[in-house]
């Protein structure tokens, strides 16, 4: 595997991990908000700052995914057809 292909694979894997993390954070936020509502309580951090800790984590993860997408886009421009096929294979697995 070429160095570019290795970097591409690792970056694509990191993006897939981040996407799974984002999905988990969204579920956790929904559960947290439901639980707080069931208890008739509010999120103090959200009340003070406008964002909960989970909102902040979700935003950070979304920005990380956007950054990884940019890197993958830049890498795609420099790849051979074989390396592009590898990336397509990785993306279809995730």
Which phi and psi (to 5°) does residue 23 adopt? -60, -40
Residue 9 lies in a domain: yes
Four-CA torsion 66, 71, 77, 82, nearest 10 degrees: -110
CA-angle at 49, arms to 46 and 50, nearest 5°: 55
Residue 93 lies in a domain: no
Domain that holds residue 15: 3-88
Residue 31 lies in a domain: yes
Residue 94 lies in a domain: no
**Number of compact structural domains in the chain:** 1
d(CA 35, CA 30): 9
pLDDT tens digit string along 65-84? 999 999 988 887 887 888 77
pLDDT tens digit string along 6-46? 888 899 899 999 999 999 999 999 999 999 999 999 999 99
Residue 66 lies in a domain: yes
């Amino acid at each position: 595997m070429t160095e570019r292909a290795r970097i591409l694979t690792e970056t694509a894997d990191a993006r897939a991990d981040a996407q799974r993390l984002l999905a988990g954070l969204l579920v956790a936020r929904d559960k947290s908000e439901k639980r707080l509502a069931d208890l008739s309580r509010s999120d103090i951090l959200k009340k003070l700052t406008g964002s909960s800790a989970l909102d902040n984590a979700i935003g950070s993860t979304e920005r990380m995914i956007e950054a990884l997408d940019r890197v993958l886009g830049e890498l795609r421009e420099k790849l051979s057809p074989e390396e592009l096929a590898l990336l397509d294979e990785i993306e279809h697995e995730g």
